Structure 1
Amino acid sequence: MTSNSYVTTQDGTQIYYKDWGPKTAQPIVFHHGWPLSSDDWDTQMLYFLGKGYRVVAFDRRGHGRSTQVSDGHDMDTYAADANAVVEALDLNNAVHIGHSTGGGQVARYVARYGGNGRVAKAVLVSAVTPIMLKTEAFPLGLPISVFDGLREQTANNRTQFFKDLPIPFYGFNREGVKPIEGVIDNWWRQGMMGSAKAHYEGIKAFSETDQSEDLKAIDVPVLIMHGDDDQIVPYQAAALEAIKLVKNGTLKIYEGYPHGMLTTHADVINPDLLAFIQS
């Protein structure tokens, strides 16, 4: 059910969405990262709107303007919510683009719900796939202490943490890179709109969910994009491993680009996305 830019899921959660452009055009669906909102895609949405596409983005449950529900902060529910939006808007032949946690969301959504002509292609940008946590089966991952630290900072001083994290997120701590105050402020604004509980529990979702089988199950073409100076999701354990698991994948590694390269290097990334979508 849709009303006033909200889709209501089976458990009653209201998912806020944007749906711009001609309804007859091919849809591009954008899936944002932790702890942000659909606003993180504004630059891409305007770019592809200008190219004639229908652009759709939504706020993950507990994020942005969606309901701050207590439960469902896991990858299965994230994917089910994405499917609820797709079905409510009846999107077919869509390109699904996910950033960071949104990349994991795309992988699970496409693997589970991507049949029946719903999905044409998928793009994983700086994505958390296949798994971020170091395990016996995946020794390349990061230790649990890293994610425990994120949880501690989220719980104890989320306001300051969300001022500090955009610095490495966008590579503003690198020599010769000038911080963009508006970008930092916008990251903080998006983050603080969301639920502390959703953010806290979402850390487990993006770090401990093994999506190897999701990647193997995807039948459509997949573009995997990652910066080699990503300080949030190291590309060696993410993009370089994910590309081995997809059936029909293309890998693009960007020298010196940060985790938030969609914002800092949109002038390069957007045309590359367009080329893949049109290929």
Structure 2
Amino acid sequence: MNFVTTADGTQIFYKDWGPKNAQPIVFHHGWPLCSDDWDAQMLFFVQRGFRVVAHDRRGHGRSAQVSEGHDMDHYAADAFAVAEHLNLRNAVHIGHSTGGGEVARYVAKHGQPAGRVAKAVLVAAVPPIMLKTASNPEGLPMEVFDGFRKGVADNRAQFFHDVPAGPFYGFNRPGVTPLPGVIDNWWRQGMMGSAKAHYDGIKAFSETDQTEDLKAITLPTLVMHGDDDQVVPIHDAALKAIKLLKHGTLKVYPGLSHGMLTVNAAQLNADLLAFIQG
């Protein structure tokens, strides 16, 4: 397996498929998953001649289960370690959910103007900030994230079944048929990772104010969000993020869920390809 060692000695697992001289697309996964969550996108793009790269965030998947560093700064630095190791240039960085926050921090701190990043995509992403605060009264109350922490601490295995079986893919909506394999795969990915990384990561994805990251991004950025996202509500994420981006394009998907990259892959992949080639 492929690993890179970060500045603080953490082993980060990564995948690197396709021609090394092709344009790279770098995928950043959501909480509490791993690079496997991008299977549908990585296969689609490698079959179209792109170089596709994805890593497991520290404490997730096959990366080292370290005790510390479960915050956006370390997440972005770890992603940069992979990009630097592979000498990726002119890359398109695509992030889902927490991975969208990772992309925003990465591009703002490591991607400009060195020529490493060409474009960015935020899919059902957490920026600018999820938590309800005095300056963000529309956000979700702390009790929501305390519930996530309780689920991880009390019975992570059951919690990691309930989330994908319910709100993540919209399988709790009337008339929607649950896909057992998708639910099982979410559970598998989650349980590969570290409970501490998952617990600490809740603070990272909910309380990190990325307003300044979004303002700092000068590259073309596509913001994709389902308007029935029950995990990262669109009104507190994409609809605010698009106002902060200098060169942002918003695409809203009526009725689609937080997990639309998996259950609506054909539609999302076509739109991603059009943005990358546009």
Q: Give the shorter-chain TM-score range.
A: over 0.9
Pairwise CA RMSD: 0.5
One-letter code aligned to 1:213: E
Does residue 107 of structure 1 match 2:110? no
5 Å-filtered alignment, 1:247-258, equals 247-258=246-257
Partner of residue 39, structure 1:
36
The Cα shift of 1:134 comes to: 0.4
Partner of residue 125, structure 1:
123
2:172 and 2:137 map into 1 onto residues whose CA distance is 28
1:100 and 1:8 map into 2 onto residues whose CA distance is 25
Partner of residue 82, structure 1:
79
1:43 and 1:132 map into 2 onto residues whose CA distance is 27
Partner of residue 186, structure 1:
185
Partner of residue 242, structure 2:
243
Partner of residue 66, structure 2:
69
Partner of residue 210, structure 1:
209
In the alignment, structure 1 segments of 5+ residues that lack a partner are none
Match of residue 140, structure 1, among 138, 152, 160: 138
One-letter code aligned to 1:224: V
2:230 and 2:35 map into 1 onto residues whose CA distance is 22
5 Å-filtered alignment, 1:91-102, equals 91-102=88-99
The Cα shift of 1:175 comes to: 0.9
Q: TM-score, normalised on structure 2?
A: 0.99
1:214 and 1:239 map into 2 onto residues whose CA distance is 14
Runs of 4+ aligned residues of structure 1 deviating over 4 Å after TM superposition are none
SS in 1 for 2:149: helix
1:103 and 1:139 map into 2 onto residues whose CA distance is 22
1:196 and 1:186 map into 2 onto residues whose CA distance is 17
The Cα shift of 1:184 comes to: 0.2
1:237 and 1:204 map into 2 onto residues whose CA distance is 17
The Cα shift of 1:267 comes to: 1.0
- CA offset digits 1:86-110 (Å, max 9, x no partner): 0000000000000000000000000
2:170 and 2:257 map into 1 onto residues whose CA distance is 5
One-letter code aligned to 1:154: V
One-letter code aligned to 2:108: A
2:239 and 2:137 map into 1 onto residues whose CA distance is 14
5 Å-filtered alignment, 1:220-239, equals 220-239=219-238
1:238 and 1:105 map into 2 onto residues whose CA distance is 14
2:255 and 2:264 map into 1 onto residues whose CA distance is 11
1:154 and 1:30 map into 2 onto residues whose CA distance is 25
Q: TM-score, normalised on structure 1?
A: 0.98
- CA offset digits 1:106-139 (Å, max 9, x no partner): 0000000012100000000000010000001111
Match of residue 24, structure 1, among 18, 21, 27: 21
In the alignment, structure 2 segments of 5+ residues that lack a partner are none
The Cα shift of 1:171 comes to: 0.4
1:168 and 1:96 map into 2 onto residues whose CA distance is 26
2:14 and 2:79 map into 1 onto residues whose CA distance is 10
One-letter code aligned to 1:209: T
Does residue 48 of structure 1 match 2:45? yes
1:235 and 1:126 map into 2 onto residues whose CA distance is 8
2:138 and 2:82 map into 1 onto residues whose CA distance is 34
